[in-house]
Structure 1
Amino acid sequence: MKYSWILVVVLLSACGSNPSKPSGHLYQENDSQNIPADSKEMLNVRMGVAYFERGDYDTALEKLKRALSYNSKLAIAHSAIATVYATLNAQLDAERHYKLSVKYGPKDPTILNNYGTYLCQKGEYELALSYYEKTLANPFYKTPETVHENMGVCLVQSNQHSKAEPHFRKALQYNSKLPVSLYNMVVVSSAKGDYMKARAFLQRLQNVAALDERILKIGYEVETEMGNKRAANRYLGMIKQIKRN
């Protein structure tokens, strides 16, 4: 299941990103090293981010490399270029730049969150969680809900479902319309046999995102267990429609 590219860039969209993957901010202005927004390096970071959004990875790399030529210790530029390299599956380059981003921005919450996301996607769950915890330790981070959601997803991926649920709930306390957290709460509640809560979270999810086949099947099972045949058949019809398409 994904935050404007000038101010904030997200790797996964609220209504289109994968609920099984954590999300990260590629760039969040004013988080990094107090570099003037109109400096040559930050202007090139912005341009690199914009080209990344358009899918023009070659030009994105060119702009981000230029930013680093102006300031080789600019943490956010290292984090951004690492994200581009990771997208291109150039893992050695991605790893090198992520480590440099943390070296030069060790207290920057955006940098820490991005590196945590990368580590989680690599399967280094415990290390990823430690970076998310460092991010949350900064009381001025602008989107703690994203970090709680990331932690929840990472814990689900590492089969620590009971520990994941409180983070999804915390994320939803900050923002009640987060699709990834709502999606996962449907899954968690259904797995626990708490069908009333699963139904409630599913209804909230339907208001903010399209439902995929997996979640529709859960909806069908929930309504079947609750004896609501009409609602169950509605979900069944939606599943068949997806299969036809």
Structure 2
Amino acid sequence: MGINLRPIVLLFSVSLALTGCVTTDSRPVNENRAVVDYMNLAKGYLQEGFSEKAIRPLERALEIEPYSAGVHGMLGMAYQRQGEDQLAEQAFSKALAIDPEASEIRNNFGAFLFTRNRLKDAYRQFELASQDVAYSRRSRTFENLGIVALRMGQSSVAVDHFTRALRLNSNLPRANLELATIYKDQGNLYAGWQHYLAFDVAGEHNARSLLLGIELATANQAQGKAASYASRLERLYPGSKELKLYRSRLGHE
């Protein structure tokens, strides 16, 4: 069997709309340099949004090293970008058959399954990835587990996963935002506010997060913060349903 490559994968953090980044792991000294170069070329195409151009260099890499989990995993992402679901699943599955311990590839496969609303399958992939204590982005898998649990209506399970994620990495905006939302809905306004403040430091706001900030800041008597969030909501999201809801509430106060 050939050399098992895992140099480049697109990391996934589910946010009900997915986000990702490109990472490069350190590679073993015996990796084929040409394969790595082809993967770097494909990675560049994927970063720039040219998924169709990424296919050929990955095929060339497989001509050299047909048993590379990393190449098959990246091919899965390229097919996913093109909407070729069957080919993407085949590529991810082959990558994991070659290397069942490739946690980043498993995490990316979970992302693919989540976008296809295959929630139980996605949950299983994230669960398996989360069991790898050596995985450098393990916190993200727990965050992903929490988001899938939320989608399945299991908020108490989601709380456990988000809490675990934050124990591993306290700077996860999405985990903090979701915990803020859950605690607010449960009436634990102080805990919700603490998680929201952590989100506010590192996260990117949208209309939903700003409305939540207004609610939690008001409940915790942080009127200056509430006014700031309200101003941003008015300025940045003038036609949003969140702004309409905020204005309707003002009319009843």
Same fold (TM over 0.5): yes
Cα distance change of structure 1 residues 24 and 130 upon mapping to structure 2, 3 Å threshold: farther
- If asked which structure has higher relative contact order (CA below 8 Å, sep 6+), I would say 1
Could you tell me which runs of 5 or more consecutive residues in structure 1 were left unpaired when the two chains were aligned.
1-5
Query: Amino acid of the residue matched to residue 16 of structure 2?
Result: S
Cα distance change of structure 1 residues 70 and 57 upon mapping to structure 2, 3 Å threshold: same
* Aligned residues between the structures: 234
Instruction: Give CA-to-partner distance per residue, 1:143-202, whole Å, 9 cap, x none.
Output: 110111111111112221110111111111121111121221221121111111121112
- Identity score, percent: 20
Q: 1:166 & 1:106 partners in 2: Cα distance?
A: 26
Q: CA deviation at 1:226?
A: 4.1
Are positions 1:68 and 2:62 aligned together?
yes
Q: CA deviation at 1:218?
A: 1.1
Give the match for residue 92 of structure 1. 86
Could you tell me which runs of 5 or more consecutive residues in structure 2 were left unpaired when the two chains were aligned.
1-5, 240-253
Aligned 1:38-187 pairs, distance under 5 A: 38-187=32-181
Is the CA contact (8 Å cut-off) linking 1:37 and 1:43 kept in structure 2?
no
Q: CA deviation at 1:232?
A: 3.0
Are positions 1:19 and 2:4 aligned together?
no
Name which of 169, 183, 186 aligns with 1:189.
183
Cα distance change of structure 1 residues 112 and 10 upon mapping to structure 2, 3 Å threshold: closer
Cα distance change of structure 1 residues 7 and 101 upon mapping to structure 2, 3 Å threshold: closer
Answer with 1 or 2: which has the greater Rg: 2
Q: CA deviation at 1:82?
A: 0.9
Give the match for residue 245 of structure 2. none
Q: 2:204 & 2:19 partners in 1: Cα distance?
A: 19
Give the match for residue 224 of structure 1. 218
Instruction: Give CA-to-partner distance per residue, 1:224-245, whole Å, 9 cap, x none.
Output: 3445555433322221011249
Give the match for residue 3 of structure 1. none
User: Secondary structure in 1 aligned to 2:163?
Assistant: helix
Q: 2:192 & 2:73 partners in 1: Cα distance?
A: 37
Cα distance change of structure 1 residues 195 and 10 upon mapping to structure 2, 3 Å threshold: farther
Cα distance change of structure 1 residues 51 and 122 upon mapping to structure 2, 3 Å threshold: same
Is the CA contact (8 Å cut-off) linking 1:125 and 1:154 kept in structure 2?
yes
Query: Amino acid of the residue matched to residue 218 of structure 1?
Result: L
Q: 1:182 & 1:123 partners in 2: Cα distance?
A: 23
Normalised TM-score (structure 1): 0.84
Q: CA deviation at 1:46?
A: 2.1
User: Secondary structure in 2 aligned to 1:176?
Assistant: coil
Normalised TM-score (structure 2): 0.81
User: Secondary structure in 2 aligned to 1:53?
Assistant: helix
Q: 1:100 & 1:25 partners in 2: Cα distance?
A: 22
| CA RMSD in angstroms, aligned pairs only | 2.6
